[in-house]
Structures are given as structure tokens and as C-alpha cells.
Amino acid sequence: MDAPVGRAASPRPVPPAACVPHSESKGTTVAYADGCYVGKRVKLELLSREQVRTIHESTLDVIADVGVKFHSRKALDILAEHGAIVDYESTVAKIPADVVEQALAGVPEKFVLGARNPDYDLPLDGEHMYISSDGSGLSFRDFDGTIRSSRKEDLANCAKVVQALDHVSATSAVVSAQDCPVETRVLHEFDACVRNSEKHNIVVSIKEDWEARSLIEMAAALPAEPMSSAAGPCSRRSSARSRRCIRSASAWTSH
């Protein structure tokens, strides 16, 4: 059995002072993420490799023998097609260990969070560190102190703040667009963010597959170029398609 390891393999790199897009380093232009590089993370290993393997194999046994409950009929169908034993009445799928292992083998070790402007792309490789906005607050405090329900306009202004802050690498629905229909609110929130920030937009409020498809269509309509002005390419070309996508999604939910 391997002995537990509780020490760092190497000293912690010193984080950069700021993540600045197009920063100049000895005359060379670098991307935004280069300013967020911190090197390999300090790895604290409290368990031996054998102990980790034991936990993993025990988990596979639970998934295969007890199963996992899924509330999506489509998910159950997909699992059944790939070898899982599915009980549609209890919505529990018992997934064989080899199926899980095969799926895990296909997961990439690192990938990139794409931004509207590629200069703000964020590689997730364990060697970069980012700060993002977050929240989904339901209220907004105006400058006069009045507290009211948050609106899409408030989220748009929050996205502008994120765009202006070099240390913040990604935007999200800081506040909820309470003035938009519940059925398409997540689409309006995405619309407000990408119109007003070139950085990666984090979306966590998706509950239905049609929402994901609509968001993908909206993202595909975005130009891969910087915003030139408030009336730039995003608001002219892609915003019309975004509005059509929101209307189509709204019509779909009304049926």
C-alpha cells in the first residue's frame, strides 16, 4: 500500500498581479489567459492510490447494483442503449462498471471555455486561475437606495462591469431578469450577458433540452470578433437571430 502524501511537490507559483487582455511581455502580445497562468497546482494527497482505487471501485459497485435515479426518459433510453439495466417505473438505471469506465475514458483532461472574443478564451488545464461573477440575485438596489425586483437591464449593466474589470475572467447572471417570461428567462439572461461582454458566459439555469438547443443556436449566431461599439456587429447581425430564437422558444413552451 502506498503511503499517504501530504506535501507539495514544488513551491506554489506566485500569481500574476492581474489578468489583462493583450498584455505586452517583452514586445510580444499574449492572450488574456496568459496573464492568469499560475503553474501546476499544489496537490495535497490525503489518501493513498490504493485507497482512492478502493473508493472508486466501491462507487462502481453501487452504481451497478443499486443504480442511479434519472428523471429524464430520454436519459434512461440512452443509458439502456449503452448497456444499462433500466427500470422505467422507478426511473432507476443500473449501469455496469465497464460502461462507466468507458465513458470516463472519453472525458478530456483539459478543455477551453470559449468566449465571444477568442482573446478571452479560458483554458481549463489546472494551470490557470480565474475569477468570475456569480449570483442570480432576485433584487436590485438603485442608487437612491430603493430595492426592487431585478431586471434584464440590470444584468446587462452587470455584464458591462465584468467586461471592464481585468481581474474578472467570466460573466454570468449576477441578477435574474425578473421582467422576462419565466419560460425563456435563461435565454434573456444569456442575451443580456453576451451583448455587453466579450468574456466567457457561465450559464447554470438550464433545466430542459430545448433551452440548451436554443442557447447553442444563439451562441452560434455570435460573431467571433471584438465588440466595436454599442451598435457593433453583435447588436446588428446576431441580436436579430437571438430575438427570433427567444420568440421561437417562447412559442414552443406555449404548446
Confidence bin at 247 (pLDDT 50/70/90): low
Taking the alpha carbons of 23, 28, 33, 34 in that order, is the dihedral positive or negative? negative
Report the distance separating Cα 182 and Cα 172, nearest Å. 18
Specify the higher pLDDT residue, 177 or 221: 177
Specify the higher pLDDT residue, 221 or 148: 148
Neighbours of 63 (CB within 10 A): 18
Contact 48, 3 (CB under 8 A): yes
pLDDT of res. 42:
79
Range 185-193 average pLDDT: 95
Neighbours of 35 (CB within 10 A): 21
pLDDT at 24 over 50: no
pLDDT of res. 137:
92
Least confident of 50-54, 72-76, 93-97, 151-155: 72-76
pLDDT at 123 over 90: yes
Look up cell 430520454; give the residue. 74
Confidence bin at 8 (pLDDT 50/70/90): very low
Confidence bin at 112 (pLDDT 50/70/90): very high
Grid cell listed for 118 = 477568442
Range 44-72 average pLDDT: 95
Going by their DSSP bridges, the two strands 28-29 and 24-25 should be labelled as antiparallel
Domain spans, the chain: 60-105, 111-254
pLDDT of res. 240:
54
Confidence bin at 16 (pLDDT 50/70/90): very low
pTM: 0.71
Q: Is 160 helix (H, G, I), strand (E, B) or coil?
A: helix
pLDDT at 7 over 60: no
Report the distance separating Cα 60 and Cα 96, nearest Å. 8
